[in-house]
Structure 1
């Protein structure tokens, strides 16, 4: 199977916008479609509720032959915030769930997790809450991390799991360009990194590091507001494909997909020898 995951930072803008960035996003949509993935996971869709007719028409044009399911942020959480979506090939018939994990504040209402169940495994995506400016959400984020780990481990007790998404954490110093400057930055605090270690220790493999344990300078996110971030390869690896340890030997490749001049997140691809 070929699986792709991408934090797209607004599905509405990507599908229907007229800005240069929106056009860049649609170019990448076309690139992803040409790769013929079995599944595509999107995070940070920012849909107000359901896909509108204009979104449905654009999805049908850009991704013919795919079905899709989505989850949007709902009250009391902010609308047009966070959100996730899956596209999967017609003919696949997963059981779809929209789990709540007992997260604090409004995190369970922010549309952050969708899970697809297949006969022999789960595929699930997450948009992990950011700890925020001044780390004001770090305490809640740590509770989230505990609850999410419990959820993922519970799935893995039933059948193997492939989990993707924007985890908003660079796990080790090798996973960002300037670790010494960011030890107190959201996404690279000791607390977030320790929780990511606990997640891996619960029975999961970072597919990219499994194949490329010492590879440096490969990142999945470049600050959109820093014009030179991508040119200077000043990035972070915060997007992951994790797999249950018993699937690790089936990983064929795990990589980033180049987005050209477009900054922010890169799509990440997992090629793995399993059958839906």
Structure 2
């Protein structure tokens, strides 16, 4: 099974930059996106052979997630509870016979950290949610988690300490999630691999010089970690300030 995750930073713009070519070529069983940045009816994607599930933010042109899957799930839910209420469109859960598939766009703490408290509460809530699901069947979570967990996960850790996405608080929340019975699939396979990033600033030549952050992840239940065949980022694929990542299980 091949799963792809991509923060497209606006699906309409990404489609104009080659999204459909990549989608067709990668031929994923499940394809997840974050930051779709649209409302219902603003785009119609012809994805033959795929079921489509969208979670739109109430605020126009903001956030949003989607999952495109070849196999129809047993159930679909939106949000972190059974109410299906989540105003920023940040999460979708598909239930299959043997696992849960979840795509997430984690809130950004903002440059001035004005949203850090909200972000940290989100982390507690989603950890609790994942633990509950994991007690039923294994979990595969993917998406833009907006944190570089360790210094190896960004190019300039020393100058970014305390910045949004690399605060001690955000990094500790990731640690607590993994300690709750999950693994960062990339680091599970490649614990010391350097210079692998998934996001680059739009500043001049930053991506060219690979001055990036690894903030997009596949987090999976520890008990199925031995089933991971490969995890990688397609850094050569443009169309967004993030690149797609994929996992084969």
TM-score norm. by structure 2 comes to: 0.94
Q: Relative to 1, partners in 2 of residues 1:260 and 1:31: Cα closer, same or farther, differing over 3 Å?
A: closer
Selected match of 1:157 from 106, 121, 135: 135
Q: Which runs of 5+ in 2 are unaligned?
A: none
Selected match of 2:218 from 237, 241, 244: 241
Aligned residues: 247
CA offset digits 1:37-80 (Å, max 9, x no partner): 10000100011x2133xx21xx21xx322120101012xxx222
**Superposition RMSD on alpha carbons, in Å?**
1.6
Do 1:230 and 1:263's aligned partners in 2 also have CA atoms closer than 8 Å?
no
What is the rounded CA distance, in whole Å, between the counterparts of 1:263 and 1:241 in structure 2? 19
State the partner residue of 2:24. Answer: 33
What is the rounded CA distance, in whole Å, between the counterparts of 2:80 and 2:188 in structure 1? 30
Structure 1 residue 97 corresponds to structure 2 residue 77: yes
Do 2:148 and 2:215's aligned partners in 1 also have CA atoms closer than 8 Å?
yes
Do 2:151 and 2:157's aligned partners in 1 also have CA atoms closer than 8 Å?
yes
State the partner residue of 1:221. Answer: 199
State the partner residue of 2:179. Answer: 201
Selected match of 1:176 from 145, 150, 154: 154
Q: CA deviation at 1:95?
A: 1.2
Selected match of 2:113 from 126, 135, 154: 135
What is the rounded CA distance, in whole Å, between the counterparts of 1:241 and 1:79 in structure 2? 28
Q: Relative to 1, partners in 2 of residues 1:125 and 1:10: Cα closer, same or farther, differing over 3 Å?
A: same
Alignment of 1:30-109 (within 5 A): 30-47=21-38, 49-52=39-42, 55-56=43-44, 59-60=45-46, 63-74=47-58, 78-89=59-70, 91-101=71-81, 108-109=86-87
Q: Which runs of 5+ in 1 are unaligned?
A: 16-21
State the partner residue of 1:231. Answer: 208
DSSP-derived class of the 1:164 partner: strand
Do 1:255 and 1:268's aligned partners in 2 also have CA atoms closer than 8 Å?
yes
What is the rounded CA distance, in whole Å, between the counterparts of 1:218 and 1:29 in structure 2? 24
Q: Which is richer in helix?
A: 1
State the partner residue of 1:265. Answer: 242
CA offset digits 1:112-148 (Å, max 9, x no partner): 0000000110000100000002111011111111111
What is the rounded CA distance, in whole Å, between the counterparts of 2:40 and 2:238 in structure 1? 30
TM-score norm. by structure 1 comes to: 0.86
